[in-house]
Amino acid sequence: MWTRIQILYISIATILVGAMFFCDFATIIGPEGSEVTIAYREKIPFLILNIMALTAQISALASTKVRFLQMRACIIAALLLLGFQIWIGIDFFTHRKEMIFSFTALFPLLSAFLDVLAARNIMLDEMMVQTYHRMKGGKKKKSK
């Protein structure tokens, strides 16, 4: 069972980013009706961004004990994924007449959204823990 919702968000985002290694990016239909598919791993910039995003996602998953580090890793992953989505968007607008894009072209945007939600929940969780410790530490017990 998931103890915190942010771990679920980061896990789903990691699965989406990892699935992009095995998915096709777009299909080009030739003049005779022949189809050529392009995978994310075939384009070097997409491969590099995917590896960087997956590394950031795994580091966010691995740093569950240090909340501020986990929050920063989520934000870095979200920024990388947002840049990845912008790059996909540029390819979409420049080649939209000759390419049919896959639904996986939205995976970076979905993962970035999940990372931002996770970072927000991590921040709220950390603020709640700090408030509890301050309130607990502020009340001094009388010793007899």
* Band of residue 65 on the pLDDT scale cut at 50, 70, 90: confident
10-23 tens-digit pLDDT: 999 999 999 999 98
pTM of the model: 0.83
Of 28-37, 51-60, 71-80, the range with the lowest mean pLDDT is: 28-37
Which residues touch 70 (CB under 8 Å, ≥6 apart)? 6, 60, 63, 64, 122
Measured distance CA(48)–CA(65) in Å, rounded:
28
CATH of 5-138, one of 1.10.490.10, 3.30.360.30, 1.20.140.150, 1.10.8.60: 1.20.140.150
Mean pLDDT value across the chain: 86
- For the chain, the structural domain boundaries read 5-138
Q: Note the maximum CA span of the chain.
A: 93
**Residue 128 vs residue 140, higher pLDDT:** 128
The helix/strand count (H/E) of the chain reads as 4, 3
Most confident region among 44-53, 97-106, 130-139 by mean pLDDT: 44-53
